[in-house]
Chain A
Amino acid sequence: MNLVISFFTMLIGTAAGVLLGLGQISLILPVRKSSWFFTQLFRNSPWLVLLFIVMLTFPFEIEFGETIIQIPDWMKAVFGLSLPIMANISEVVRGAVQSVPTGQWEAAESLAYSRSQTIWKIILPQCFKRMIPPWMNWYAILTMATPLVSLLGVQEIVTLSRQAMEAENNHPELLIPFFGFALVIFFAYCYPIARLTLKLEERYSVKFI
């Protein structure tokens, strides 16, 4: 469940984050200002608070005429976690775009590229490599933050560990092995990501002329 949540959160967070990040470099002032505002708002709020807000304010079902679609809690959790991820990816995109030398913009401009052609064909492809390491970093952080959703009643590894504890009559001596097991699983998943991130960072740091 943690992996499912982290996967969908990253998917939504990245898609929304790229759009928001591009919004931050928009030439249209209201778009730029509001993108900046939402980025800062969600980037600087505690994740747990965002989660609570989403869980408590979102409906648990949606009516489509006759049919009623139930929204499971974990989906709401995905949405709640997507917000800070979106904001942080937005900053990653903005930073990467701004790290491309201005000469690239000028060259594209002088070749009569439109602004959107410049962004999609010239600037973003060069940013892509640079965005991978921070992106993976955020994925690892997100995965480690997924147990937060247990506080909201979503079944995931920490909830399960607690249930297992209860099934064993809460013997305190089981605390360390049970939760330690959860810890090991997280570590086994996140540590390779962290290593890979480091490697990629090394590889791409010198790549650019």
Chain B
Amino acid sequence: MDTNNWTSEQPIVSLKDVHKSFGTLEVLKGISFDVMKGEVICIIGPSGSGKSTLIRCINALNKINSGSIMVRGLEVNDPDLNKLELRKNVGMVFQQYNLFPHKTAIENIMMAPMLVLKESKDEVLSKARSLIRKVRLEDKENTYPGELSGGQQQRVAIARSLAMNPDVMLFDEVTAALDPETVKEVLVTIKELASEGMTCILVTHEMGFARELADHIYFTDRGIIVEHGPPATFFEEAKDPRTKEFLSQIL
């Protein structure tokens, strides 16, 4: 799968001056940052600041207008981009889970590796079983998404993404639609992933979680990165008034 000359010393995800507009509304006004392999990055900011758009641009669900996004040496902003190649490398988990309602939990996990990666059924089944154990839902293998709680669905969704063996995981406000008591189980799963060295980019409102887990925090507002830094500095010594105001509102 390594068709390019990316090496692990280089950023696995690298954004340079990314601009994105929806019609006349400019949502991203020049975003740049690098993510190294194994890092956990949290993007925070008020709603409407372009966080979700930003993360969706990384796996080309949204197309950017100008700038560059490199993922593992693959230029995302390239009209000839091999989208399948990109998406094999980048897993994404959504706020609304988006499980396939006509398939059971285990089928949800197994479908993509079988259809897309053409792996054999036995191989995929054992992988899916170990993933479903990993998210602690081994007793829900044959349950349909409609019968699972939000937190359980979200963990299945995480397992489904992991089944593709991605190098980078994108989490788009994955706990925002959950009941408070199920938020924790999802966060624990993400924490475990991070501790295993998975590169994670999260858009989140869970400040405590971001503080504990992130290697680096980016605060975005109105389409630009206002401030960034490691959690300790970011939360203790925020300089920009906008960051201060935002933090004072939610902490």
- In the assembled complex, the Cα of A101 lies from the Cα of B96 at a distance in Å of 11
From B101, B102, B116, A111 is in contact (CB under 8 Å) with: B116
From A108, A110, A112, A209, B146 is in contact (CB under 8 Å) with: A209
- In the assembled complex, the Cα of A107 lies from the Cα of B164 at a distance in Å of 13
- Residue of A with least CB distance to B92: A110
Quick check: is B112 within 8 A (CB to CB) of the other chain?
yes
Quick check: is B251 within 8 A (CB to CB) of the other chain?
no
**How many CB-defined contacts (below 8 Å) exist between A and B?**
60
Quick check: is B94 within 8 A (CB to CB) of the other chain?
yes
Question: Taking A121-B111, A209-B145, A209-B146 as contacts, is the C-beta distance between A113 and B98 under 8 angstroms?
Answer: no
Residues on A with C-beta less than 8 A from B145 are 209
Q: Which of B83, B98, B145 has the most CB of A within 10 A?
A: B98
Quick check: is A125 within 8 A (CB to CB) of the other chain?
yes
| Interchain nearest-CB distance for A126 vs B (Å) | 5
Quick check: is A34 within 8 A (CB to CB) of the other chain?
no
| A103, B96: Cβ atoms closer than 8 Å | yes
Residues on A with C-beta less than 8 A from B87 are 109-112
- In the assembled complex, the Cα of A126 lies from the Cα of B100 at a distance in Å of 9
| Interchain nearest-CB distance for B179 vs A (Å) | 15
Residues on B with C-beta less than 8 A from A209 are 101, 145-146
The interface on chain A, measured as residues whose beta carbon lies within 8 A of the other chain's beta carbons, has a size of: 20
Residues on A with C-beta less than 8 A from B146 are 207, 209
- Chain B interface size range: 20 to 34
- Residue of B with least CB distance to A128: B102
Quick check: is B161 within 8 A (CB to CB) of the other chain?
yes
- Residue of B with least CB distance to A122: B100
Quick check: is B155 within 8 A (CB to CB) of the other chain?
no
B75-116 residues at the A interface, CB under 8 angstroms:
83-84, 87-88, 90-92, 94, 96, 98-102, 111-112, 115-116
| A126, B94: Cβ atoms closer than 8 Å | no
Quick check: is B61 within 8 A (CB to CB) of the other chain?
yes
Residues on B with C-beta less than 8 A from A106 are 61, 94, 98
Residues on B with C-beta less than 8 A from A110 are 59, 61, 87, 90-92, 161
- In the assembled complex, the Cα of A159 lies from the Cα of B11 at a distance in Å of 79
Quick check: is B72 within 8 A (CB to CB) of the other chain?
no
- Residue of B with least CB distance to A109: B61
Residues on B with C-beta less than 8 A from A108 are 100
Quick check: is B160 within 8 A (CB to CB) of the other chain?
yes
- In the assembled complex, the Cα of A178 lies from the Cα of B160 at a distance in Å of 64
- Residue of B with least CB distance to A120: B115
A102-145 residues at the B interface, CB under 8 angstroms:
103-104, 106-114, 117, 121-122, 125-126
Quick check: is A208 within 8 A (CB to CB) of the other chain?
yes
- In the assembled complex, the Cα of A109 lies from the Cα of B63 at a distance in Å of 13
| B100, A107: Cβ atoms closer than 8 Å | yes
| A117, B100: Cβ atoms closer than 8 Å | no
Residues on B with C-beta less than 8 A from A122 are 100
Residues on B with C-beta less than 8 A from A113 are 112, 115-116
| Interchain nearest-CB distance for A12 vs B (Å) | 27
| A208, B94: Cβ atoms closer than 8 Å | no
- In the assembled complex, the Cα of A4 lies from the Cα of B112 at a distance in Å of 42
Residues on A with C-beta less than 8 A from B88 are 112
A–B pairs, 20, beta carbons within 8 Å: A103-B94, A103-B98, A104-B100, A109-B61, A110-B61, A110-B87, A111-B87, A111-B111, A111-B116, A112-B83, A112-B87, A113-B116, A114-B84, A114-B116, A121-B111, A121-B115, A126-B100, A126-B102, A209-B101, A209-B145
Extra inter-chain contacts (20) besides given A104-B98, A110-B161, A112-B87, CB under 8 Å? A101-B96, A101-B98, A103-B96, A103-B98, A107-B100, A108-B100, A109-B61, A109-B83, A109-B87, A110-B91, A110-B92, A111-B116, A111-B160, A111-B161, A112-B84, A113-B116, A117-B116, A121-B115, A126-B101, A207-B146
